[in-house]
A and B are shown apart, each in its own frame.
Chain A
């Protein structure tokens, strides 16, 4: 028996991810989110039936990293594009992957109405409290007092308004069946995030309506912190403003056992 025969594979790249190294900054949680989504799609055996809709922002190149079909939406319009695809191909799994500027600012109209229509798609919403791709500007999710390149003295709510709590907002819509917020700042929460991703995709597969998983994420480069400091900052500052939890779980979704 050779050494190779005795080896047991305990960890591998999911089939739904390509071999391409990502362009994400060191410590960024996009990689974690990508992997969780890929693992769940593998586990559900849906890779060949999945169509992703990439957005504009750091995740603009998501289609390079997932090994299934993708289209690339204009800024904020991913839920509308996903609607077009899903209506034509209702038996495919259609997901969008959007940042906070994309979904909660320029794309608010599209996501709200996709949810209101009960569009049978799944939105993965990455909330890292700033515009990452363009270099750390104020986002609709930037916390009060948080410094960004367009709120250099800290977000002043008197002139720059308050952060948008997207999961809470979307959860008020009848067509939304599964809307939750999770965080990617530690292993326990990452496991919980994966469960939520599974439940969101199950919601879609069973035709139960709109699903969204908001994932609190870090942006060490633009926050000007190390990854470890960033994870701590997320836990200490973001979670109090963006509480983790289930904001909408339709009774039919609550019955799903996975």
Chain B
């Protein structure tokens, strides 16, 4: 199939349709609204369900209900709207029904702004909803990847009865790129043995997140944890660039990773042996490969569009075996390749410190420009 120009939000919407999305529920919020708008036309055209909910609370609970019937369901939102969905997400996790969520992140906290940011990392990856669960989180850095990961999200959510999140920032939602859309998959015709669809000729089924008896809740927590271990064992995804001979490795996801790649290429052109590790699954986090790299490289540079949320996961993986530096732009300001290149050059030309926290050193550098 030919490559066509697709806008990020619309590409994700169409990819979901092609993946067999049967019901979508959403609410307008910039910068993800095109997703909702596109599906308001596309879903009814195919005889599928589209409802504009009264709020993100409504949307996520409509998703919850529809997911209980065993069909493929999705909602999408942006940071403040995702906060509102956390209650529902926790219930969905506790009920162990598959759901796909798209978070097109914007600047925050609070109302923030509508510019691209990565401040929802902790809320999404380390769980904003109450209780003990982990979502699968996929972070594309271009439109083709957004399409492919949206398709994958449905498969993973179903395979592990989990929440699969496509986590991107507003710039990816808004930008256009050539990409290839996969063919339309047929809708499901069989449903899992837990699906609530009416007790026609069978025993009744109940789907719930309530386990009033603590030992039963403990059992449920363990069941979810064991399923997560399978996810960790089978589903870690990342992309490495120029890692073979790298003295330094930049780590960044999504748009930050993409900007970092430009910087890495520029540094290579200047003869600095630097590579990039771009986590595609930020949950499960590619800790093992980072640990392996830690024994081979002179240092890491974590680049994010937040104050160092993934940085903590990198530090945990590296376990102090190599110096880690940090660079970020915040509040909807995009990092520039030149800024990242300067950081790479600084690392290549000055001794690296392991004193204190990388975030502290970054703040110090910002206060005292070279």
Contact = CB atoms under 8 A, between A and B. Distances in A.
Contacts of B65: 53, 71, 73, 80-85
Interface in A38-71: 47-51, 53-54, 60, 63, 67-71
Contacts of B264: none
Contacts of B61: 73-74, 77, 80-81, 84, 110
Given A74-B88, A89-B69, A81 B62 contact: yes
B57 interface: yes
A87 B88 CA distance: 18
A109 B57 contact: yes
Given A51-B198, A81-B62, A109-B54, A88 B204 contact: no
A103 to B, nearest CB: 14
A105 interface: no
A34 interface: no
Interface in B1-59: 22-23, 25, 49, 51, 53-55, 57-59
B66 interface: yes
B366 interface: no
A165 interface: no
Given A80-B61, A84-B73, A71 B54 contact: no
Contacts of B53: 80, 113
A151 interface: no
Interface string A201-229: 00000000000000000000000000000
A85 B197 CA distance: 8
A72 interface: yes
A68 B199 contact: yes
- Most A CB contacts (10 A, CB to CB) among B23, B54, B198 go to B198
B57 A110 contact: yes
B22 A88 contact: yes
A84 B197 CA distance: 12
B145 interface: no
A69 B197 contact: yes
Contacts of A63: 206, 208
A92 interface: yes
B206 A72 contact: yes
Nearest to B97: A71
B345 to A, nearest CB: 52
A117 B206 CA distance: 27
B201 interface: yes
A92 B200 CA distance: 11
B23 A84 contact: yes
A125 B74 CA distance: 29
B196 A51 contact: yes
Contacts of B73: 84
A75 to B, nearest CB: 9
A83 B62 contact: yes
B208 A48 contact: no
Given A83-B62, A110-B58, A71 B68 contact: yes
B204 A69 contact: yes
B207 interface: yes
Contact of A88 (B69, B95, B208): B69
B62 A49 contact: no
A231 B278 CA distance: 67
Nearest to B55: A109
Contacts of B59: 80
Contacts of B58: 77, 80, 83, 109-110, 113
B209 interface: yes
A73 B208 CA distance: 8
Interface string B189-203: 000000011111100
A73 B62 CA distance: 10
Interface in B243-299: none
A88 B23 contact: yes
Nearest to B201: A48
Contacts of B222: none
Contacts of A48: 198-201
Contacts of A49: 198, 200
B63 A84 contact: yes
Contacts of B23: 84, 87-88
A113 B52 CA distance: 11
- Most A CB contacts (10 A, CB to CB) among B25, B53, B204, B208 go to B204
A134 to B, nearest CB: 15
A174 B23 CA distance: 25
Q: What 4 A-B pairs come out closest when comparing CB atoms?
A: A84-B65, A81-B65, A80-B61, A84-B66
24 contacts: A50-B198, A53-B65, A63-B208, A68-B199, A69-B196, A69-B197, A69-B198, A69-B199, A70-B196, A71-B64, A71-B68, A71-B196, A72-B208, A74-B64, A74-B91, A80-B57, A81-B61, A84-B64, A84-B66, A88-B22, A88-B66, A89-B69, A109-B55, A110-B54
